[in-house]
Amino acid sequence: MPLEAEGTRNHYPAACTICGTVFELWDPNRGHSAHVVLDLEPVGGGIRIACLRHVHHATQCACGAVTAARPGMGVLSTMPGRSRDLLLSEACLVGPALATFIAALSVRYHISRARIREFLAGWFGVTLSVGTLDRCIREVGVACEPVVEDLLDDLRQAGVIHADETPWRQKEKRCWLWVVLSSTTAIFHIGSRQGEEIRDLIGDAFLGWLVSDGYRAYRSYKKRQRCPDPQGGGPGRWPQPAGRPLRGVAAARGPHPRGRRGHRRPHPQSDSRPSEARLQPPPRRRG
Ligand SMILES: [Zn+2]
């Protein structure tokens, strides 16, 4: 069923692309292209999905040239193995606020695309295909890429960070999912299991403490605390979230707690009672 726009938003070119003359409202123009956009908008303390027709106009300059307003274009994302490249553009069915909402439902709240489709149809009366939802989620991911560098900078400034990796299948290809956490930032990265992956995330100039398991990729960091695993350890386990166990890890500053072959020495404050050591609060920083 074709979408019915409830309003029109017009876009005009600002100036002639040939001579640079700034256009006035009364300069002759005509519709050049149009597309419909669904987007979230606030209403009465809630939200709704509005359907607007965006019309881009072309204006004729006194010099004779015709300049058209065009939808904004973003970055082109290419990825090996993907059948089509992803180009961010304003000329798409789903607007930025609705795309962000869909991505949050998927990534933050772990709702499947089929359930998101059902949710949007049931609560907003808008039916989108699973393919459209999938594209939205990928577009938001590409749009968020610049934020990742800022998050990595935050991570590298932290005094204590935690890292781990676990097997991850990406379209039948065996990869590894890395996670690096500080008290305020979490970075996830899909790649190989090589040491370069963690060095690309943390950097060589990291001055804080790295808490990890005994995997060799972490061993180049001298200020490293091997993570005590209260569940028995083993490959593929995630670091514990910030909470009781990690508070004890954060407290394990001072002499390097590792032996030459990577065996864990008893905690200097715990004697032979590591379970009690994990309950110790971290020391307060001075200054
Ligand atoms: Zn002109």
Q: How confident is the model at residue 177 (pLDDT cuts 50, 70, 90)?
A: very high
**The two structure tokens encoding residue 144:** 């968020």
Residue 172: CB partners within 8 Å, gap ≥ 6? none
Predicted TM-score (pTM) of the model is: 0.63
CA–centroid distance, 27 to ligand 1, in Å, is 11
CA distance 231 to 223: 24
Task: List the alpha helices (DSSP H) in 125-194.
Answer: 130-143, 145-157
Please name the residues in contact with 228: beta carbons below 8 A apart, sequence gap of 6 or more.
245, 248, 249, 264, 274, 278
- Rounded average pLDDT over 256-281: 38
| Percentage of residues of the chain with pLDDT beyond 70 | 78
The CA 17 to ligand 1 mean position distance, Å, reads: 7
Q: How far is the CA of 16 from the centre of ligand 1 (A)?
A: 5
- Alpha-carbon gap, residue 157 to 184, rounded angstroms: 11
In angstroms, what is the span from residue 18 Cα to ligand 1's centroid?
5
113-134 pLDDT, tens per residue?
999 999 999 999 999 999 999 9
177 burial level (CB within 10 Å; 0-12, 13-18, 19+): middle
Domains of the chain as residue ranges with CATH: 7-68 (no CATH), 73-143 (no CATH), 146-264 (3.30.420)
Instruction: Spell out where 183-244 has E strands.
Output: 186-191, 209-212, 224-226
Question: Which tens digit of pLDDT belongs to each residue from 205-221?
Answer: 888 899 988 888 888 88
3-state SS, residue 57: strand
Residue 18 has pLDDT above 60, yes or no: yes
